[in-house]
Amino acid sequence: MWGGRFAAGPASIMREINASIPFDKRLWKQDIAGSKAHVAMLAKQGIVSQDDAHAISAGLDTIAAEYEANGVPVNLDLEDIHMVTESRLAELIGPAAGRLHTARSRNDQVATDFRLWVRDAIDEVEAGLLGLQRALVARAEENADAVMPGFTHLQSAQPVTLGHHLMAYYEMVRRDRSRFADARARLNECPLGAAALAGTGFPTDRHMTAAALGFAKPTDNSLDSVSDRDFALDYLMAATQASLHLSRLAEEFIIWASQPFGFVNLPDAYSTGSSIMPQKRNPDAAELVRGHAGRIMGCMTALCVTMKGLPLAYSKDMQDDKPPVFEAHDLLGLSIAAMTGMIETVTFRTDRMRGLAESGFATATDLADWLVREGGIPFREAHHITGRAVAAAEAAAVPLDQLPLETLKDIDARIDDRIYAVLTVDASVASRQSHGGTAPAQVRARIADAKKELG
């Protein structure tokens, strides 16, 4: 490849550091698709003959079948997927293979391949996140009125329903899907034909190649076309956010599966045992999802640091753009699949959840709200009165709804027996009828809307 300019070959270390074929072989389908679109355009524009274009296209089909059957051969001397494919094409059809690279550079070629790969990756993630949402909605519907403690600071705060809790993650995943959709829309412009950095003097039709590859349009600046990796960063940032949500859900399962909580029984399929303690059921799948979030975040940071100081246009540093994206995509796919499987198959211990909701003074806010509504007491005063009632219940080791009326009246004479109608956990959750609240009726309404959203 370099014979016209360099008299000697590269040092062995240069050969190894320069080669990207060990990882960019994953781009082979996109590389062949881009090359077929390019040669079809060259033929239509009269830049190469129809005979050569036919031979090149047929050769590329043969190579695709070989790669599909046997994988991509790794040859460090050929550096990357583009040269491996072009070399094999020359073996198959002879000198006509050299015409394929007319009016393009590896710079716009790899930018196009990578955009195509990331676009496909987003479509895979979209399908996975949609499946996760469906699982969340199904389990939320089953548990729309199952009472559990709601937490702030991991302290029992107010009773909520398990369905409401699960639908909170539905909303997170909805936002994740929107971020990936935005990233896909932004990347859907085709760099092919920008050549090395300045465009080309050949009479190419970049709109034709863009349309053939499913892009909305060609990119508008040749310098930006070959040096832009915003699309990869967009993907990694969306992946990072999604992984953070998955990690939070995994953390809940880890806590809920612990003996002090006992809110869930994780299925065998997503648990492991101990090499020494036969009683153990470890939530390893959830823990690995939690760990993957850190690695995905690291991939995003790695590419940010690579790109932060690069001048226009292409620099070899950008060869390192693909490994973090590939790694993050693989980890995210595993994480989505693991959490979807856990959601679908976990056993929720709703009896245990309800028992803890009833034992943590979680209806204290309902007492304060009642004092405001029925007694006309300013909330801050009602808050103080309720705090004394909680202290009394704590001292008596009983829930709020089991405090004698006399005790409550000693705290504040304006309390009467109507208070008991709001102190149960069922009454508490049923009263939260505001839009987006935890009342079972509100939860079911949101589930109905979610089903329409999911189609």
Average pLDDT of span 366-381: 91
19 Cα distance to chain centroid: 30
pLDDT at residue 231 tops 80: yes
pTM: 0.91
User: What does the DSSP assignment read for 175-210?
Assistant: HHHHHHHHHHHHH-EE-TT-TTTT--SS---HHHHH
**CA max distance for the chain:** 100
d(CA 258, CA 319): 45
- Ramachandran bin of 105, using left for φ above 0, alpha for ψ from -120 to 50, beta for the remaining angles: beta
Q: What local confidence, expressed as pLDDT, does residue 159 receive?
A: 92
Amino acid found at 329: H
* Identified catalytic residue from 153, 275, 434, 435: 153
Q: How confident is the model at residue 277 (pLDDT cuts 50, 70, 90)?
A: low
- Known catalytic membership, residue 227: no
DSSP collapsed to 3 states, 158-181: EEEEHHHHHHHHHHHHHHHHHHHH
| Residue 219 in tokens | 């990119």
* Identified catalytic residue from 49, 178, 258, 274: 274
Decide: 59 and 9 in contact? Cβ < 8 Å.
no
Three-class SS state of 267: coil
Average pLDDT of span 442-448: 98
Decide the pairing of beta strands 147-152 and 264-265: unpaired
Average pLDDT of span 20-31: 96
What average pLDDT does the structure give for the chain?
93
- Known catalytic membership, residue 222: no
